[in-house]
Amino acid sequence: MRYLLMILITSGLLFNPSQGVRAQAMPALHTIQIYVRTDVFVSMMIDGKLALNSVLKAGVGQQWQGRQFELKVDNAAAVEVTLDGQLSGALGAPNAVATLRWPPVARGKVVVQPTYYVVQPGDTLFTIAQRFNTDLEVLLQTNQLGNPDLIQAGALLAIPGSDGSLPTRESVTAAGAVIQSVIALPNRGTILERMTGAAQTTAPASPFHQTTWVTYYGRPDVPIMGILGEHDLDKLTTLLKQQAGLYDQANGDDLGVMPAFHLVYGMATKAPGEDNSYLTFLSDEVVQAYIDRAAQEKFAVILDIQIGALTPADAIKPGLPWLKYKHVHLAIDPEFAMSHRGQALPGDPIGFITAQQVNEVQATMQAYLQAQKLTAPRILLLHQFLEEMIVEKEKLDGSYANVELTIVADGWGGPWGKISKYNDFMDANSTEFSAFKLFYRWDEPILTEREALGVDAYGGSAYMEVTPNLIIYQ
């Protein structure tokens, strides 16, 4: 898919070089205009509210005014950006998902030392900014670039440190000579050392104890929803074993692998149904077949519920009786929660869940497990592909002894955007357990097993910073 997305931002902020920025009671308004030449998926947040989350048809333009925005697109190389009248260039690699925020926000807690970088073939200013955990406009200003599209392989860029300090240029060779860039890669630690604190200290009873999970996601007999729906149980089992085997090679001798069938158990629908839940659940016979085969193969099963018009705690209840099988776990997907006032259909607009609601789901699960004397901890997966899908995320409670709360960085696209999103969502100190979703048919290209675990860097520089405990394939 080839298209061009233009963004024009007109700032009301007044600036005089001799006087500095004039103080204002409120941040300046910006006018944001977008135009697409072919069909493109665009998500736009204006002042914390979702303004657009859909495919724009070729030739359609949109305009908003606001003080803050967050734009996400699904083909970064085809996107050009103009900020306050200055062209900022392409956002990244072909088919990569890219995010642009204004005003820029801090991206993670990685400390960057000031250095110089030699532009490599295929680099864009956006990918270089991502690589060094800095912002596009910082590189523009530091290097006095008038047109970032004209950066050439071999050019020398100054990369400021996290504290704003500039590198010292102790030696520069004559024009045309090769300049060696001094880039000190941090000691990232082993695959175990890069896990979250909770994952590093799991008890033997935890499903994540010394184990990487690999799941095949989908709805039985519905191929469009994922690989699980593309094959019968025999073929699916063979493929999942092969995929799990590749992770067993990638994650080292200290970790085992748990394959799992990941069923969309409660699927959101356009029809409300007799109970007005906008959910349809798989039959007991179908679920039992996957549970029995998983037990035979020593696999696990995850039952995923898309919430619909129910409260999250009520949506999870049909899945609770299946927890009598110790290899069965649960998941909830806020994307299809009808959480907006007046919302007519699941997923339009994208739903959200609050931390309090997630904690209520955990309490419901724990109470059921304790009442049934089921002592083995169970995983609760929580999907997220937009920041606003989990409200007050910092209030998620990880103290439920029987529930292993696991955040899934969901969403399809190119590696740069997916890795950036995962790193934004996961924090080794505050996230309990983490998961990452890959799409066989939609990620271009799909990450290798070693890249998905953060062992290798995609493109030589983009690392998954926190080791995922669970990998989902759709």
> Of the candidates 433, 342, 353, which has an alpha carbon nearest to the alpha carbon of residue 395?
353
Amino acid 56: pLDDT = 63
Same fold for the domain at 106-185 and the one at 197-473?
no
Amino acid 161: pLDDT = 76
What's domain 197-473's architecture? Alpha-Beta Barrel (3.20)
Residue burial 400-435, b: 16+ Cβ < 10 Å; e: rest: bebbbbbbbbbbbbbbbbbbbbbbebbbbeebbbbb
Amino acid 308: pLDDT = 96
Cα 206 to Cα 200, 359, 404, 420, distances in angstroms: 11, 19, 8, 28
Amino acid 67: pLDDT = 75
Tokens 């400021």 belong to which residue?
160
Low-confidence ranges of the chain (pLDDT < 50): 1-26, 105-110, 169-186
- Cβ atoms of residues 291 and 260 within 8 Å: no
- Cβ atoms of residues 65 and 97 within 8 Å: no
Tokens 């996290």 belong to which residue?
162
Amino acid 2: pLDDT = 33
Amino acid 400: pLDDT = 96
Superfamily of structural domain 106-185: LysM domain (3.10.350.10)
d(CA 218, CA 221): 9
Amino acid 96: pLDDT = 57
> Of the candidates 320, 311, 316, 289, which has an alpha carbon nearest to the alpha carbon of residue 356?
311
Respond yes or no on whether the N-terminal peptide bond of residue 220 is cis (omega within 30° of 0): no
Which sequence spans correspond to the domains of the chain?
A: 1-103, 106-185, 197-473
Within 347-429, strands assigned E span 353-354, 378-384, 390-391, 403-409
Amino acid 372: pLDDT = 97
Name the token pair of 285. 């016979």
